[in-house]
Amino acid sequence: MSHSLHRQGTEQSLKKDFVLYARSSRWVNREGAGPKLNQIFEIALSEKPVNFGASIYGKNLLTGLDIAEFKKVLEKNVGFICCFSDRESLKRTLKKIKEAQIGISIVVSGLIDEISTMAEDLGLKPHTAFLSLGIHGKKKLLPEETILEITTMCGHGLVAANLARSIMEKVKTETITAAEGARLLARPCPCGIVNTDRCTQLLEQCRTKC
C-alpha cells in the first residue's frame, strides 16, 4: 500500500500513526470476500480506530460515512482502510484478526521497527516490506516541512498545502481549535487515513511554535 508510506514527520510523532488495510485479491479471494471484510471491519471497530473509509465509497468517518451503509458497500468492495494513533489498539486488532483466521491480506504501515517488533510479538511473519526512499528531485518546490507533515497523511494528495496553511492560520489566531482544524483537513481524504489525533497535535504545536 504505497500511498501510505510517505508520511513525513519526526520519529516521535510517527510512533503514534499507523495505517491498516484489509484487501482481497483479484482472481484469488475477491469472490465472496464481503463477509470476511465485514468481519475484519468489526474487529477494527472494536479497537476504536481514529478514522476509516474506502475510496470507492467516497466518504470517511468524518464526512458522514454511515456504518450500516458502509457494511453493505463492503459486500461489493475490494477492501477497507483505517488508521490508529495507539500502538496497542493496532496490536490487539492484529491479534484478533490472526485468531479469527479470516484469509484476507492485511497491510500495516508505520515505522518499520515498530511494525517488525509488533509482528514478532504476535508470531506473525510479514510476507513483504515496502520502504519509502524519501523525496527526490526539485525539493525546493515542496511546501515547508510543517505543511508536509499534514498533507502526506493523505497519500493520494487530496489534502492541499494551501488548505493546511489556511487551517494553521485559523488555529494560530484561535478562530478554530486544533481539533476542529484536524477534522476539516481530514475531510478531503475518502480513504480515511488522515490521523486526526496526530493532526491535532501538529496543529497545536504549530500554534505555539510556528
Position 49, amino acid:
P
Q: Angle 98-56-22 (CA atoms, 0-180°, nearest 5)?
A: 10
For residue 45 the three cell numbers come to 471497530
d(CA 70, CA 77): 10
CATH code, domain with 66: 3.30.70
Q: State the total domains in the chain.
A: 2
Q: Where are the alpha helices (DSSP H) in 123-160?
A: 145-151
Q: Are residues 165 and 108 in the same domain?
A: no
Selection from 21, 51, 50 nearest residue 130 by Cα: 21
Cα atoms found within 13 Å of the Cα of residue 104, Cβ hemisphere only: 26
Q: Are residues 24 and 100 in the same domain?
A: yes
Final residue before a domain boundary, out of 97, 122, 147: 122
94 CB neighbour count, 10 Å cutoff: 22
- Residue 82 belongs to what domain range? 2-122
* Cβ 171 vs Cβ 203: under 8 Å: yes
Q: Are residues 152 and 88 in the same domain?
A: no
Q: Are residues 205 and 177 in the same domain?
A: yes
In a domain? residue 190: yes
d(CA 58, CA 86): 26
Q: Are residues 99 and 173 in the same domain?
A: no
From first to last of its 210 residues, the chain has per-residue pLDDT tens of 578 889 999 999 999 999 999 988 888 877 888 899 999 999 999 999 999 987 777 778 888 888 888 888 787 778 889 999 999 999 999 999 999 999 899 999 999 999 999 999 999 999 899 988 888 999 999 999 999 999 999 989 999 999 999 999 999 999 999 999 999 999 999 889 999 999 999 999 988 877
Q: Are residues 88 and 145 in the same domain?
A: no
Final residue before a domain boundary, out of 69, 94, 122: 122
Selection from 79, 92, 110, 101 nearest residue 15 by Cα: 110
Q: Are residues 91 and 7 in the same domain?
A: yes
Q: Are residues 60 and 113 in the same domain?
A: yes
* Cβ 40 vs Cβ 176: under 8 Å: no
